[in-house]
């Protein structure tokens, strides 16, 4: 079964780049009849906050990306310990005692010599006596995963195609800190094995992480850990999409203006966010498609491009307007002003860019409206309109036909004074739909008032 996962760290609010990753994983799972899982990567106890966990769940729910299951890394520490011991017994993790300052100095020296700033594996040359001396001084080791330099790391990436890394150009990654806490790499690989994740779709900034993790998957399989968990493949299929950028460059969690809270404050529909992010960065056109089944059906990693995808607020606003114009009354009835029925929604909807604007336009029906000052000629015309108004199936057509015949007016001189008298505006909803909502009594009163009667 296709199983994808979205694995945010609860150290801040989701931003639009995170949301796009979650959406694409959800779509990949739904396209293949699979499962979409949420994994809360909260091993960083110092920075993780429960309020952010709640916010992540709330944002996914608002977007309609409900997961089929949820796991929290903080509840899986025993699993990571078991995997660590498996790798330790296999000689694939080793203790290191350098301080952060010593490592920084090593990197600077390597850079100064024109060498890649990767770890030199000095800890592997330490004797047991030297290690014992360090620990006697109270220096606890941090632990690195030992990469296998014997052959290239290769995989067929779902977006980037054939990928190949020379493991010797990568640092052996630290997987565990001196205080016993975990870094990202190993727990993520262990979880993917244990949760049966078949596809990992994430940003291209993780490509080198994938190279390292493929070796972790391979080592865990070779040591029997993955087999014990029933893993069918050595590692998941990987795909790395181009990063999403904004007007100011790379997106980050600190750009809170590009999160769900901001979208809600701007009264953006979740369907508009989904329609934009579903195809942003692909060769498919971004269209105001509110039907998620259509978006899912068209989802294909082969359409994803390599160039950074630019998020544009103006494009989101345009999509939102188009989506609002498609929304049925039943979808929005609970959000509309009191008294607005389906006919009212149908009349006002084409003038909205947000559902929340319905109240302002509904005021044209309920009043009060303030007509402009009319010329003497227009006041006489509006006075004639009071008498010409008759209430039938199409009162606006009846009124304008009668006035056109009696006054000879046509076009703007015929229609505009009537609209201004009835609504106080020179633009707005179709008057053929609006006038029946205003009603005969209110219409006569407004025309008479504008005529100065």
We find that the CATH architecture of domain 245-324 is: Orthogonal Bundle (1.10)
CA distances, 451 to each of 375, 380, 384, 390, 414 (Å)? 10, 6, 9, 17, 15
Residue 255 confidence (pLDDT)? 44
19-57 pLDDT per residue, tens: 999 999 999 999 999 999 999 999 988 899 999 999 999
| Residues sharing a CB contact under 8 Å with residue 350, sequence separation 6 or more, in sequence order | 325, 429, 430
In the predicted structure, residue 237 carries a pLDDT above the cut 80: yes
Tell me the pairing of strands 249-250 and 244-246.
antiparallel
Cis peptide before 368 (omega within 30 of 0): yes
**Token pair of 338, please?**
């009191």
Model pLDDT, residue 80:
97
DSSP state of 75: G
Task: Tell me the average pLDDT of the chain.
Answer: 94
CA–CA dist 168, 151 (Å, integer)? 9
Taking residues 221-228, what's their average pLDDT?
83
pLDDT (tens digit, 9 = 90+) per residue, 288-320?
999 999 999 999 999 999 998 888 889 999 999
Query: Does 253 carry a binding-site annotation?
Result: yes
Place of tokens 């660590």: 84
Rounded to whole angstroms, the Cα distance separating 209 from 227 reads 23
Distance between CA atoms of 258 and 245, rounded to whole angstroms?
Answer: 11
d(CA 205, CA 215): 18
For residue 281, is it left (φ>0), alpha (ψ between -120 and 50) or beta?
left
For 49, the 3-state DSSP assignment is: coil
Residue 254 above 50 pLDDT?
Answer: no
Nearest to 389 by CA among 428, 344, 307, 446: 446
Amino acid 453: pLDDT? 82
Q: Which pLDDT belongs to residue 249?
A: 64
Q: How many angstroms separate the CA atoms of 418 and 416, rounded?
A: 5
What does the radius of gyration of the chain's CA atoms come to, in whole angstroms?
32
- Please check whether the two domains, 245-324 and 367-451, share a CATH topology: no
Which H or E run includes 404? helix 395-407
Query: Domain spans of the chain?
Result: 245-324, 329-365, 367-451
3-state secondary structure of 183: coil
The predicted model scores a pTM of 0.91
Using alpha carbons, select from 421, 428, 433, 424 the residue that is nearest to residue 395: 433
Cβ burial 294-315 (10 Å sphere, 16+ → b, else e): ebbebbebeebeeeebebebee
* Report for 109-118, 224-233, 239-248, 411-420: range of highest mean pLDDT: 411-420
Q: What is the CATH number of domain 367-451?
A: 1.10.10.350
**Residue 418 in tokens:** 């009537």
- Left if phi > 0, otherwise alpha if psi is -120 to 50, otherwise beta: which for 33? left
Give the model's pLDDT for residue 257.
53
> What is the enclosing helix (H) or strand (E) of 377?
helix 376-388
What is the CB neighbour count within 10 angstroms for residue 54?
11
Instruction: Please give the full DSSP string across 111-151, using - where no structure is assigned.
Output: HHTT-------GGGG--HHHHHHHHHTT-PPEEEE----SS
> Which residues share a beta bridge with 8?
none
Collapsing DSSP states into helix, strand and coil, what is residue 94? Answer: strand
Residue 252: both structure tokens together: 């980050």
DSSP H or E run through 155: strand 153-157
**Helices 270-279 and 16-31 sit at what angle, rounded to 10 degrees?**
80
| Per-residue pLDDT at 245 | 82
Contact predicate 335/355, CB 8 Å: yes
| Mean pLDDT on 67-79 | 97
On the question of pLDDT at 411 being above 50, the answer is yes
Q: What is the mean pLDDT of residues 386-409?
A: 95
Residue 315 tokens read as: 């494009």
Give residue 131's pLDDT: 94
Least confident of 11-15, 117-121, 139-143, 224-228: 224-228
What would the two tokens of residue 284 be?
């498919």
Under 8 Å between Cβ of 185 and 216: yes
Question: Is the model's pLDDT at 253 over the cut of 50?
Answer: no
- Report residue 127 as tokens: 């004797």
pLDDT over threshold 80, residue 228: no
Return the beta strands (E) in 158-279 as ranges.
161-165, 174-176, 199-203, 237-241, 244-246, 249-250
Please list, in sequence order, all residues whose beta carbon lies within 8 angstroms of the beta carbon of residue 241, skipping any fewer than 6 positions away: 20, 21, 24, 159, 201, 202, 203, 204, 281, 304
351-389, pLDDT tens digit by residue? 999 999 999 999 999 999 999 999 999 999 999 999 999
% of the chain at pLDDT higher than 70: 97
pLDDT recorded at residue 248: 66
């Amino acid at each position: 079964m296709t199983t994808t996962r979205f694995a945010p760290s609860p150290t801040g609010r989701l931003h639009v780049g995170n949301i796009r990753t979650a959406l694409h994983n959800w779509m990949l799972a739904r396209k293949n009849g699979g499962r979409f899982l949420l994994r809360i990567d909260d091993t960083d106890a110092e920075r993780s906050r429960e309020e952010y966990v709640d916010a992540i769940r709330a944002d996914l729910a608002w977007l309609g990306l409900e997961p089929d299951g949820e796991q929290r890394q903080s509840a899986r520490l025993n699993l990571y310990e078991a995997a660590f011991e498996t790798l330790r017994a296999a000689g694939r993790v080793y203790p290191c005692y350098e301080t952060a300052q010593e490592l920084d100095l090593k990197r600077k020296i390597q850079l100064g010599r024109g060498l890649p700033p990767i770890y030199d594996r000095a800890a592997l040359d330490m004797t047991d006596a030297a290690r014992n001396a360090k620990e006697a001084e109270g220096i606890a080791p941090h632990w690195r995963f030992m990469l296998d330099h014997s052959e290239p790391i290769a995989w067929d990436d779902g977006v980037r195609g054939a990928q190949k890394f020379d493991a010797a150009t990568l640092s052996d990654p630290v997987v565990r800190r001196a205080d016993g806490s975990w870094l990202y790499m190993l727990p993520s690989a262990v979880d993917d094995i244990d949760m049966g994740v078949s596809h990992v779709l994430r940003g291209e900034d993780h490509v080198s992480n994938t190279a390292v993790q493929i070796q972790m998957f391979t080592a865990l399989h070779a040591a029997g850990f993955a087999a014990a968990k029933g893993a069918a493949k050595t590692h998941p299929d990987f795909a790395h999409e181009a990063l999403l950028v904004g007007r100011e460059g790379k997106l980050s969690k600190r750009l809170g203006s590009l999160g769900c809270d901001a979208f809600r404050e701007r009264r953006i529909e979740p369907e508009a966010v989904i329609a934009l992010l579903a195809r942003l960065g692909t060769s498919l056109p971004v269209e105001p498609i509110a039907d998620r089944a259509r978006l899912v059906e068209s989802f294909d990693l082969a359409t994803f491009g390599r160039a950074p995808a630019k998020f544009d607020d103006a494009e989101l606003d345009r999509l939102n307007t188009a989506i609002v114009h498609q929304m049925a009354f039943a979808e929005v009835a609970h959000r509309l002003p009191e008294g607005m029925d389906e006919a009212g929604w149908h009349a006002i909807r084409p003038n909205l860019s947000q559902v929340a604007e319905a109240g302002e336009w509904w005021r044209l029906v309920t009043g009060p409206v303030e007509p402009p000052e009319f010329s003497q000629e227009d006041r006489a015309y509006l006075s004639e309109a009071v008498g010409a108004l008759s209430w039938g199936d199409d009162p606006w057509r009846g009124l304008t036909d009668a006035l056109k015949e009696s006054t000879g007016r046509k076009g703007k001189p015929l229609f505009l004074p009537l609209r201004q008298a009835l609504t106080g505006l020179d633009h707005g909803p179709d008057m053929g739909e609006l006038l029946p909502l205003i009603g005969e009594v209110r219409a006569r009163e407004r025309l008479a008032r504008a005529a100065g009667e």
